[in-house]
Protein backbone atom coordinates (compact mmCIF):
# COMPACT_ATOMS: atom_id res chain seq x y z
CA UNK A 1 0.00 0.00 0.00
CA UNK A 2 1.18 3.53 -0.71
CA UNK A 3 2.54 5.77 1.99
CA UNK A 4 -0.27 7.06 4.19
CA UNK A 5 -0.71 10.61 5.48
CA UNK A 6 -2.29 11.13 8.86
CA UNK A 7 -5.23 13.58 8.95
CA UNK A 8 -7.34 14.69 11.84
CA UNK A 9 -11.00 15.39 11.13
CA UNK A 10 -13.92 16.59 13.19
CA UNK A 11 -17.31 14.90 12.78
CA UNK A 12 -20.52 15.18 14.72
CA UNK A 13 -21.66 12.41 17.11
CA UNK A 14 -24.26 11.03 14.67
CA UNK A 15 -21.63 10.72 11.95
CA UNK A 16 -19.34 8.97 14.43
CA UNK A 17 -22.02 6.43 15.35
CA UNK A 18 -22.90 5.81 11.72
CA UNK A 19 -19.22 5.46 10.75
CA UNK A 20 -18.59 2.96 13.56
CA UNK A 21 -21.66 0.89 12.67
CA UNK A 22 -20.99 0.91 8.94
CA UNK A 23 -17.31 0.01 9.35
CA UNK A 24 -18.21 -2.82 11.72
CA UNK A 25 -20.91 -4.12 9.34
CA UNK A 26 -18.46 -4.12 6.43
CA UNK A 27 -15.61 -5.53 8.45
CA UNK A 28 -13.26 -2.67 7.64
CA UNK A 29 -11.60 0.02 9.69
CA UNK A 30 -13.13 3.45 9.99
CA UNK A 31 -10.06 4.85 8.24
CA UNK A 32 -10.56 2.47 5.32
CA UNK A 33 -14.20 3.50 5.10
CA UNK A 34 -13.25 7.18 5.09
CA UNK A 35 -10.65 6.53 2.35
CA UNK A 36 -13.31 4.72 0.30
CA UNK A 37 -15.68 7.66 0.75
CA UNK A 38 -12.99 10.11 -0.39
CA UNK A 39 -12.22 7.93 -3.43
CA UNK A 40 -15.93 7.82 -4.31
CA UNK A 41 -16.25 11.59 -3.89
CA UNK A 42 -13.30 12.20 -6.21
CA UNK A 43 -14.54 9.69 -8.80
CA UNK A 44 -18.00 11.28 -8.74
CA UNK A 45 -16.48 14.74 -9.20
CA UNK A 46 -14.45 13.48 -12.18
CA UNK A 47 -17.59 11.91 -13.71
CA UNK A 48 -19.55 15.14 -13.20
CA UNK A 49 -16.80 17.07 -14.99
CA UNK A 50 -16.77 14.54 -17.85
CA UNK A 51 -20.55 14.86 -18.22
CA UNK A 52 -20.39 18.66 -18.11
CA UNK A 53 -17.77 18.68 -20.86
CA UNK A 54 -19.84 16.27 -22.97
CA UNK A 55 -22.94 18.44 -22.54
CA UNK A 56 -20.99 21.55 -23.54
CA UNK A 57 -19.77 19.74 -26.67
CA UNK A 58 -23.37 18.86 -27.57
CA UNK A 59 -24.50 22.44 -27.02
CA UNK A 60 -21.62 23.69 -29.18
CA UNK A 61 -22.69 21.30 -31.94
CA UNK A 62 -26.29 22.54 -31.70
CA UNK A 63 -25.16 26.14 -31.96
CA UNK A 64 -22.98 25.30 -34.96
CA UNK A 65 -25.82 23.39 -36.61
CA UNK A 66 -28.10 26.37 -36.06
CA UNK A 67 -25.54 28.83 -37.48
CA UNK A 68 -24.78 26.67 -40.51
CA UNK A 69 -28.35 25.54 -41.14
CA UNK A 70 -27.72 21.81 -40.73
CA UNK A 71 -30.78 19.71 -41.38
CA UNK A 72 -32.64 22.42 -43.27
CA UNK A 73 -31.79 20.96 -46.66
CA UNK A 74 -31.06 24.52 -47.74
CA UNK A 75 -34.61 25.61 -47.02
CA UNK A 76 -35.04 29.12 -45.73
CA UNK A 77 -38.64 28.66 -44.60
CA UNK A 78 -40.07 26.94 -41.56
CA UNK A 79 -42.98 24.55 -41.45
CA UNK A 80 -45.01 27.17 -39.61
CA UNK A 81 -44.34 29.73 -42.35
CA UNK A 82 -45.40 27.22 -45.00
CA UNK A 83 -48.70 26.60 -43.22
CA UNK A 84 -49.28 30.35 -42.87
CA UNK A 85 -48.74 30.86 -46.61
CA UNK A 86 -51.20 28.09 -47.39
CA UNK A 87 -53.92 29.83 -45.38
CA UNK A 88 -53.46 33.22 -47.02
CA UNK A 89 -52.90 32.17 -50.66
49 domain residue, yes or no: yes
Assess contact for 23 and 30: CB atoms under 8 A: yes
**Structural domain that includes position 35:** 13-68
Torsional sign, CA 25, 27, 30, 33: negative
Predicted local confidence at residue 34, as pLDDT: 97
5 domain residue, yes or no: no
27 domain residue, yes or no: yes
Residues with Cβ within 8 Å of residue 62, at least 6 apart in sequence: none
89 domain residue, yes or no: no
Mean pLDDT of the chain: 90
What is the tens place of the pLDDT at every residue in 60-81? 999 998 888 787 676 777 888 8
CA distance 1 to 29: 15
Looking at the structure of the chain, the number of domains it has is 1
Q: Taking 70 as the threshold, does the pLDDT of residue 89 lie above it?
A: no
Q: Taking 60 as the threshold, does the pLDDT of residue 88 lie above it?
A: no
87 domain residue, yes or no: no
3 domain residue, yes or no: no
Q: Taking 80 as the threshold, does the pLDDT of residue 85 lie above it?
A: no
CA distance 10 to 64: 50
32 domain residue, yes or no: yes
56 domain residue, yes or no: yes
Q: Which H or E run includes 11?
A: none
Amino acid sequence: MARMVRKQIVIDPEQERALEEHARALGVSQSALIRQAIDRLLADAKEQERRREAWEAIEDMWRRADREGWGSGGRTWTREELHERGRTD
